[in-house]
Chain A
């Protein structure tokens, strides 16, 4: 472990750890809970660099956890960290299955399974991951997946991070956001020291406490360093503090420090010997000065800030020589972890281009294989930076590989730039096949951020270029891509035609990937779920994770749009778990957006808001998920009477409108129409829907025609849809609201059903609509319906809807309420699934949510609570 805080001045022995009593007691209490209940707990320990996270953990070990096994791994500040880096050390410690699993380079979810088994075998364990702001994606995935299962793992997991580096650690921010909602996760923030505490530390040194506090801001590390430097004057910065301390060392010791400083994290003893040469004799001097710590893994600076300060101060020629030596030593070592990321790091710092090209692409490919695509991109970029001697073909190949990892991790600008360069290189070298294929890749890329015109043009060019050559798999992919681009533009017939060509060609060539891509697109165009579902299985069987995740997302999106809730629910649940386990961010994000709409359709406002907020928190360039999530938020605000419903919708419209695609702008237009209608603004409904309605009619998109037409009709506007509208909308437009409402109920869409009832011209349906709107917590439409009832002379209509006071007991959603009722009847999940016509997995999900909300652990307790809350009658 790297010591960083005031508690470990080697010259004076340990000093008191100040102002950390409450944090220690939180950790102690968490460990106690794990001990007693065997339910695990995660503590996320944040604080700025030097706040004393490591010191706190050390004290925690000494005070509370001496009888407990502790596994500890630290992340390293490499520009491109080694995938699963911190777990390598832990696995080596533990040995056995975990070691062989981590060693074999498998996906994070398999690592977690092995880790869980290991943690269960030795309960309780404290599992520490330090400095996760430097963690690679695979390690973050492990942390995230472990958090999902922690309830049933008897371990206290502590992850430390620098909260002042979160800006630069976007993947960690996403993970923290996700963990924040987990019931077994707790966030601790280490505050800086108070002036009193600084004064207490300064007293033995007779230093000016006020001045010390002013210059250090109460950062424990700064305080300790400044005090240890024993300078007459307080140095301005910690760098000065570090140098002041180093300046008292011998020349050999300084050379040794430099050798340690160029190696991020730890320097193994054998490596240090090679780097430091004779200066190794000064090791004891460095250790006793407190600058370095000797740890199991090797030697390390007491604090990363100190390592950086020393590293920056090394003369350039000496630094290059040191990195060159490190590279040679690491390359010669035939250790079991031949660490490509480390080799590439030193190769670049040594200015050895040949070595960079030897290690970086391999490190990149390895990282991509583990799903750590950000690391892969960084390694490819490193290779490209060093690649002056590459041939155009080699360079284009690296650029395309880099772009593939960019696509997965939403780095569009970078990916588009790489593919444009690759395309130019392919043209220069006269590689027609490569040119066509690069055009197709670029077309795929441009679609996501909404550059639809360019995307379609390139899709067509790719087909034209590749058709000049004998038909091959690249042409198959080009057909499939053109089909997808056209399908997104709702040019259904054309899309099906190109998709069919792709399928036929792929069949001839035995090309599974292009075939599945095209099958998914065609089936989605035809709204044919019988066809769409098996494509998921086929993709899974063929091991095509990318195609499988896309198939889940397309299936879910299409099912949501056509209100097939149980199909959508299953695709969302299974697909999300699939993407989450494999770190597939993009499809995962789409699925989250589809989930938001699905929850909205089912009347689960809270869940809809959660899913939409999650999408909006994730900064990605792909506009479609964001548009869908913004539409959900806008509708929720409008229905609940919350402030600023138009704000998200205006943003969504600005994103959707330039694409000209019905798939994106139709959803926003319908939401804008609903907001206008709720505000009693018929003109607003007209201007929101006019363009999209025409487009939907032109593209014969039945559901969209129906939805937009229904709003126009409600606002008293012309809505001639001919025979185009689909589903309950056709009945609505035909002036049969009661039949439409019945169909909506059958589809499991209570809000749409209530809206349809509200279109009726009779008292009874209107009363039912009002009750339903109140039950759904939709006070704004409820007020509209109440007003219509009063205008019709109906008495006893409540003035203001009191939806909030009629919330379901225990805060359950309507669906959870239903599931709880069945649980209380003694039904098993499989039976409930059959009754509700949903998958068993979906029921598992609902039951877990019910247990969490009711704070119970068994079905019997849930049933008892259900009786107490009046959810079910006593005698049932």
Chain B
């Protein structure tokens, strides 16, 4: 399954509540993704929380966009990526 890097821009900043509420929120995202065969691997968030870089496995860019819609998350750009390991070349 292809892997995608999804860049998101949050002009107001991304705020994930802590504790149970945040857990609930992330679980909701994961379960809504499952319907489209999309897996959220992990994300990086910029220090000022205005931008996130999210790694996803999914069947197609359309599925990535669809789950973003379900989760009410913006998409700035999707790039198909693969792993480049700095130690692979010895």
Q: Which residues of B contact A187 (CB under 8 A)?
A: 35
B62 within 8 A of A: yes
Interface stretch (choices A373-381, A560-568, A605-613, A679-687): A605-613
Q: Which residues of A contact B78 (CB under 8 A)?
A: 641-643
Min CB gap B58→A, angstroms: 11
Q: Which residues of A contact B80 (CB under 8 A)?
A: 643-644
B77 within 8 A of A: yes
B75 within 8 A of A: yes
* Interface size, chain A (Cβ < 8 Å): 21
Interface stretch (choices A513-521, A655-663, A802-810): A802-810
* Bound CA span A317–B90, Å: 68
Q: A643-B4, A644-B61, A804-B9 are in contact. Are A609 and B76 (CB under 8 A)?
A: no
Q: Which residues of B contact A612 (CB under 8 A)?
A: 62
Give the residue name and chain of the B residue nearest to A633 (CB).
Answer: B62
B19 within 8 A of A: no
Min CB gap B31→A, angstroms: 10
* 17 additional A-B residue pairs with CB within 8 Å, beyond A640-B65, A805-B76: A187-B35, A606-B69, A610-B66, A637-B61, A640-B61, A641-B77, A641-B78, A642-B61, A642-B65, A643-B2, A643-B78, A643-B79, A643-B80, A644-B61, A802-B9, A804-B9, A805-B9
Partner of B11, one of A609, A640, A641, A805: A805
CB of B61 within 8 A of CB of A807, answer: no
Q: A643-B79, A804-B75 are in contact. Are A636 and B62 (CB under 8 A)?
A: yes
Partner of B66, one of A609, A643, A804: A609
Give the residue name and chain of the A residue nearest to B37 (CB).
Answer: A180
Q: Which residues of B contact A613 (CB under 8 A)?
A: 60, 62-63, 66
* Bound CA span A640–B65, Å: 10
CB of B66 within 8 A of CB of A606, answer: yes
Q: A609-B66, A804-B75, A811-B72 are in contact. Are A643 and B9 (CB under 8 A)?
A: no
B74 within 8 A of A: yes
* Bound CA span A802–B72, Å: 16
* Bound CA span A644–B61, Å: 9
Q: Which residues of A contact B74 (CB under 8 A)?
A: 804-805, 807
Give the residue name and chain of the A residue nearest to B8 (CB).
Answer: A804
Within 8 A of A (CB), among B1-51: 2, 4, 8-9, 11, 35-36
* Bound CA span A641–B64, Å: 13
* Bound CA span A804–B77, Å: 9
Within 8 A of B (CB), among A777-813: 802, 804-805, 807, 811
Give the residue name and chain of the B residue nearest to A647 (CB).
Answer: B60
Min CB gap A556→B, angstroms: 22
Give the residue name and chain of the A residue nearest to B64 (CB).
Answer: A642
SS of A interface (majority): helix
Min CB gap A613→B, angstroms: 6
A181 within 8 A of B: yes
Interface size class of B (residues with CB under 8 A): 20 to 34
CB of B65 within 8 A of CB of A609, answer: yes
Min CB gap A158→B, angstroms: 18
Partner of A180, one of B35, B72, B76: B35
Q: Which residues of A contact B65 (CB under 8 A)?
A: 606, 609, 640, 642
Q: Which residues of A contact B75 (CB under 8 A)?
A: 804
Q: Which residues of A contact B63 (CB under 8 A)?
A: 613
Min CB gap A606→B, angstroms: 6
List 26 interface pairs A-B (beta carbons < 8 Å), by A numbering: A187-B35, A606-B66, A606-B69, A609-B65, A609-B66, A613-B60, A637-B61, A640-B61, A640-B65, A641-B77, A641-B78, A642-B61, A642-B62, A642-B78, A643-B2, A643-B4, A643-B78, A643-B79, A802-B76, A804-B8, A804-B9, A804-B74, A804-B75, A805-B9, A805-B11, A811-B72
* Bound CA span A361–B72, Å: 53
Give the residue name and chain of the A residue nearest to B78 (CB).
Answer: A642
Min CB gap A398→B, angstroms: 41
Q: Which residues of B contact A633 (CB under 8 A)?
A: 60, 62
Q: Which residues of B contact A804 (CB under 8 A)?
A: 8-9, 74-76
Give the residue name and chain of the B residue nearest to A189 (CB).
Answer: B34
* Bound CA span A610–B76, Å: 20
Q: Which residues of A contact B2 (CB under 8 A)?
A: 643
Give the residue name and chain of the B residue nearest to A610 (CB).
Answer: B66
Give the residue name and chain of the B residue nearest to A606 (CB).
Answer: B69
CB of B35 within 8 A of CB of A181, answer: yes
* Bound CA span A181–B32, Å: 10
